[in-house]
Structure 1
Amino acid sequence: MNYSVLENIFTYNSGTEHSAINRTKLFNENGIEAKILTRNYNRFLAHDMQLAGVDHHSVINMYDYFQGTTDVARNELPLRLAKQFPLDEYHIVAENANYSWLKRAGQNIGKIEVLPGTVGLISSVTYYDRFNNPTVRENFDWRGFKSSIDYFHMNGELGTQVFLNLKGDPVLEITHMNINGKLSPTMWKLLNYKGKNYRFNFEDQLFLFFINEVVANDPEAVVVSERRNLDYVVADVKAPQRVAFFHDSHLLNPTDGPKSKIKPIYQQVLVNQTAKFSGAFVLTEQQKQELNQQYPNLNVSVAPDIYVSDDDLKLGQTAERQPVILVSGRLAPDRRPFDVLKIFQQVHMAVPAAELHFAGYPASPTYLDQLKDKVKNDHLEDSVKFLGYLNRKKLNDEYATASVLLNTSLNEGLGMHMVEARGFGLPVVSYDVLYGPKVLIEDGVNGNLVPDGRTHAAAKAITTLLTDSDKWSQMHRSALKKAQADRADNVIAHFEDGVAASR
C-alpha cells in the first residue's frame, strides 16, 4: 500500500495537501491501495475531509488511531440535549449564536461554545472557578463525541491535555511545563496501548511510533514523505520503501539556477539521510537532471502531482467564456500578486470589460488588506474580485468560464493551477521561471511565456487573447490537446515506474 505522510488535512489546504489527496483518490479508484497518514490533533478533521472530498476510509489520523475513533459516523450533539448537563440543577442561557452560559444558582460556571457553522451543536465546554479562572475545558469532535479534556493551572495556562476513547477512558496525555519561561508540551504519554504505557519527548516521536504500527504488517508498504519538515520522521520508518515527494523547487534562489544553494529544509533528503530514502519524486525532467548531477546517490524519478479528469475536459469544451483573468493559488509574496495588479491595470485600460479574479487564501489578513488598498488606489474595485479559498466545484467553474490564467510566481515545481487550467482549455500567460511553465506552456501555442518580471509583456499577451477570438480559440484547442498528457493513467504510470525504479 502507498502511504502519504502529512501534518493534517486543513480547512484551507495548500497544493501539497491537494496533491496527496488527489493521488490517494486516484489510486483507490483504480484498484491501487492508498491512504493518507496525518499527525495533528484535529477534532474538525472529519468536516475538513468532507470539504476536501476525501473519503474517511482513506485517512488515518494519529490521534484518532490511538483513540479508536477512525471509523466513527457523525451523530450531532445539540447542547440542550447533552446528558452531561443535569438541567434540573443547571440552566443554559444563550448569549448569542456562538456560545451559551452554563449557570448554577444564578452564577456562571461554564461557557458552551457552539460548533462553527452549526446551530446549537457543542464544540467545547469551559468550566470556571469562583474567581472566573478556567479550570477544565472539554473538547468535542465534529462527529459528536467528547474527544479531549484540557486541564489548566491556577494562572489559566494549559497544564495537561487528555485524549479519550469513545467510552471516555484516557488513552493519551500531553503534559505542559515551563521551559525558560515559556509553557511548552514536554511529554506525550500513551496509556495502556496493547497493555503497555509509552512515553515520548516529542510529538514526532509518537508520530514515528504510529506510522510503524500502521505499516508493521504491510510487506509492500511505500511511505511517501510529502512535507520536508516530516522527512526526518519518514527516514526512520520501518518500511520496505521510503520516498520523498518534492512539490516545489529545492533551490534557495531559483534565479541562480543549479549554482544556487539548496533550501535548508531539503537537507534531510539530499544531504543528511539520503541513504535512508529509496528515492525521490520531482515534477519535471529538468529538476531531475539537476538533482542527478548534484546528488548522484539519490534515485530521482519524475511524476506529476495532479491529473485532469474526463469531466474537466468535457466542461472545458462547452463552457461559455467571460473576459476574466484568473489567478489561482495562495496570495503571498512568492506568488507576486502585486505584479498581477500592475498587469491588470494595463489590460483594463485596453479592455475595460475585463475582470480579475483571485481564487485563494491570503498569507495573512494584513497582506490581503494591502492588496485591496492597491486595488482601491487604482480605482479598480468594480473589476477585481477576491474570491477567497474555493471548493473544487466553484474553482472548476472559474477555470471553465475564465479566458486566461495568469501566473507570476517566483518559481513552480510544476504548477498545479496551470495543469488544471489547460485541462479546461484555458490559455496560460506566465513568467518564464523554473520549472513548470517551460514544461506546460509552448509559447504562442497554448499560452505565452514572458520574461520574468516583464509586466508590460504579460499585459500585451493577455490583451491579445481577450481581443483576438481566433487566437484565443487556437490556444484553447491546443490547451485541451496538451491536457491529454495529464490524464489519470499517465500519472499512475509515472508513479508506479518511479516506485519500481527505487526498489
Structure 2
Amino acid sequence: MIYLTGENVFTFNSGTEFSQFERLDLFKRQGKTAKLLLRNYNRLLAKDIATHKLDPTTVLNMYDYFQEAVGLQRKKCPLRLLKSMALKDHHIVGIDNNTSELRYQGNLIGKIAVMPETVGLVGDITYFDRMGHTIFKEYWDWRGFRSMVETYHPDGSIATQQFLKPTGEIALEITHMYLDGKILPTSYKLIAYRGKDYVFDTQDQLYTFFLNEINALEPGVFISDRRTLDNCVLNVINAKQKLAYIHSVPFVDDKKPQKGILPAYRTALTVGNFDQVIFPTKAEANTVLQVFESKLNVAVAPDSWVKVATSPKVLPKQKVLIYVGRIAEDKNITDLLKCFKAMYLQDATLRFKLQGYFSNTDYQTKLQQLVSELHLQDAVEFLPYQNEPKLYQDATLFLNASPSEGFGMNMLESMAHGVPIVTYAIDYTENNLVKNDINGYNVKNKTPKLLAKKALELLGDSENYHKLSKGALKTATKYDAKAFSAAWDLVVSE
C-alpha cells in the first residue's frame, strides 16, 4: 500500500494537491493500491471528491474514520423535514434562498443556513439565547447527517467542538481555552475508540495516531507532500518507507541558495529523517546536495503526468493567450497584465484569459483595478477555477512571469496540448522544461516589455510557431503515464 499524506481536498487546491490526485490516478491504473490520508475536518469532502473526479475509495479522512462515516452514502436532508426538530412547536420562516429563521412561540431562536450548492438542504443551524447571543451551532455533512456541534465562550469564541457519528454518538471532542491570551484548541479527546478514551494535545498528534492505526491494519509506504505533516509521517511506526516530496523551491533566496533553507523544509532536508527525499528535477536535487554538502538520499520523480495531444497547433487568426494557476502575488500576475498591454498596443485582436483562484479579495481588487487602468476590460478575462481542457485546446500561447517554480505543472499541461510557452527564465524550469527554440522561450531580462516582445515575435512567425508546438508535444511525452510510472517505480518499493 502507498499512503499519500495531505491536509485536505480543498475547494481551491494548490499544485501539491493536484500532484497527489495525479499520482492516485496513475497508481490505480498501474494496479498499485494507494490512498490519500487527510488530516483536516471537511464536512463537504464528499462533494469536493466528486468535483475533482477522485475515486472515493482512495481518499480517507481522519475525522471520517473516527466518526465511522467512511463509505457513507449521501442522503439528502431537507431543512423542513428535520427529525431533530418538533415542527409543531418550531416554525421555519424562509428569508431568502440561503437562509431561514427558526422561531418558537414567535421568538427568534435560531437561523438555518442552506447547504452550499443545494436547494433547501440543511447546512448549519445557529441557536440563540433570549439576548440574541449564539449558544451553539450544528454543522451538517454533505452526506446528510449532523456532523459537528460547537459551543461558545461568553465572548463568542469557540469553547468545544463535538464530532458526531451518523448515529449521533460523540466520536471526538476538542476543547478550546485561553492560551497566551488567545483562544486555541488545547485538547483532542477521542471517545470510546475501540473501548478506550485517548487524549491528545494537538491535531497533529491525533493525525499521527491515525496514521499508525492505518499502518497497523496494512503496512505501507508513506509519502509526505506537505511540510506541515513531515513530523507526523516520521512518527509512523514500522512503515515500509518514509518519503518526502519537495514540490517547490526550498531556499530562503531562490537566486542565492547558499543563504540557507526555509525553516519549513529543515525537517525534510535533514539527513537521516526520511528514507528518500524526492525532487521534481535533478537540477534542484543537485543544488541541495552541492550547496549544503548534504548526504541526503535523494531521488528524482515528476510530480505530475499528462495526456499528450496527437496533433501540433497551427497559428490561428484569433490568438488567445492564457495563464492557468493560482492568481497570487507570488505568481507576479501584474507583470503578465503589463506584458499583455504592451502586446495589445501592437495587436488589438489579442485576448488574454487567466484561469485560477485569487489568493485573496484584496489582490483580486488590485488586479481588476489594474485591468481597468490599462483599459483592457474588453480583452482580459478572469475565469473561475476549474479543470477545463477546452481552455488549453483553444489557447495559442501560455505566458508566465512567476519568479520561482519547483517544476511548472501548468506549463507542462499547456505543452501537452501543443501550446508553446513564453516565460521569465526560472531556475529548475529553464532547460528542464522550457527550452529555447524547442518548445518556447525563457526571457532572462525579466521585464514585461521584453516578455511581450518575445511573445509577439513568436506570434508573428507561423512556421516557427508550428515548430515550437511540435516541440511542446515532444517534451510533454517525457512526462506521460509511461514515463511517470517508470520514474516512480524506482522510488517506491511496496
Bucket of the pairwise TM-score, normalised by the shorter protein: over 0.9
* Alignment counterpart, residue 274 of structure 2, candidates 250, 272, 277: 277
| CA distance in structure 1 between the aligned counterparts of 2:5 and 2:315, rounded to whole angstroms | 37
In 2 relative to 1, CA 112–314 (structure 1 residues): closer, same or farther, beyond 3 Å? farther
- Unmatched segments (≥5 aa) in structure 2: none
* Alignment counterpart, residue 356 of structure 1, candidates 349, 352, 361: 352
Matches within 5 A, 1:390-469: 391-392=386-387, 394=388, 396-469=389-462
Give the C-alpha shift of residue 23 in structure 1.
0.6
Give the C-alpha shift of residue 13 in structure 1.
0.3
TM-score normalised to structure 2 length: 0.96
- Unmatched segments (≥5 aa) in structure 1: none
Aligned residues: 492
* Counterpart residue number, 1:38: 38
Q: Which amino acid aligns with 1:164?
A: L
Moved more, 449-458 or 196-205: 449-458
* Counterpart residue number, 1:54: 54
* Counterpart residue number, 2:122: 122
Matches within 5 A, 1:142-181: 142-181=142-181
Q: Which amino acid aligns with 1:209?
A: F
Give the C-alpha shift of residue 276 in structure 1.
2.7
Give the C-alpha shift of residue 314 in structure 1.
4.2
Q: Is the 8 A contact 2:315 2:465 kept in 1?
A: no
* Counterpart residue number, 1:135: 135
In 2 relative to 1, CA 321–75 (structure 1 residues): closer, same or farther, beyond 3 Å? farther
Asked if 1:289 corresponds to 2:286, the answer is yes
Give the C-alpha shift of residue 315 in structure 1.
7.9
Q: Is the 8 A contact 2:8 2:39 kept in 1?
A: yes
| CA distance in structure 1 between the aligned counterparts of 2:467 and 2:116, rounded to whole angstroms | 47
Q: Which amino acid aligns with 2:236?
A: V
Give the C-alpha shift of residue 218 in structure 1.
2.6
Give the C-alpha shift of residue 159 in structure 1.
1.1
In 2 relative to 1, CA 212–441 (structure 1 residues): closer, same or farther, beyond 3 Å? same
* Counterpart residue number, 2:200: 200
Q: Deviations over 1:1-48 (max 9, x none)?
A: 111111111000000000011111111122011110111111011111
Q: Is the 8 A contact 1:322 1:402 kept in 2?
A: no
More helix by share: 1
Give the C-alpha shift of residue 54 in structure 1.
1.2
| CA distance in structure 1 between the aligned counterparts of 2:202 and 2:97, rounded to whole angstroms | 38
| CA distance in structure 2 between the aligned counterparts of 1:42 and 1:452, rounded to whole angstroms | 44
Q: Which amino acid aligns with 2:142?
A: W
Asked if 1:300 corresponds to 2:293, the answer is no
| CA distance in structure 2 between the aligned counterparts of 1:45 and 1:318, rounded to whole angstroms | 41
Q: Deviations over 1:308-360 (max 9, x none)?
A: 12xx5148769978411111111222211111112111111112111111111
| CA distance in structure 1 between the aligned counterparts of 2:335 and 2:452, rounded to whole angstroms | 10
| CA distance in structure 1 between the aligned counterparts of 2:38 and 2:316, rounded to whole angstroms | 40
TM-score normalised to structure 1 length: 0.95
Q: Which amino acid aligns with 1:286?
A: A
Q: Percent identity between the aligned chains?
A: 38
| CA distance in structure 2 between the aligned counterparts of 1:113 and 1:446, rounded to whole angstroms | 50
Give the C-alpha shift of residue 295 in structure 1.
5.1
Q: Is the 8 A contact 2:315 2:462 kept in 1?
A: no
In 2 relative to 1, CA 156–333 (structure 1 residues): closer, same or farther, beyond 3 Å? closer
In 2 relative to 1, CA 196–322 (structure 1 residues): closer, same or farther, beyond 3 Å? farther
Give the C-alpha shift of residue 457 in structure 1.
2.4
| CA distance in structure 2 between the aligned counterparts of 1:362 and 1:14, rounded to whole angstroms | 12
| CA distance in structure 1 between the aligned counterparts of 2:248 and 2:194, rounded to whole angstroms | 40
Q: Deviations over 1:39-84 (max 9, x none)?
A: 1111011111111121111111010000011111111111011111
| CA distance in structure 2 between the aligned counterparts of 1:400 and 1:320, rounded to whole angstroms | 12
Q: Which amino acid aligns with 2:37?
A: L
CA RMSD of aligned residues (A): 1.7
* Counterpart residue number, 1:2: 2
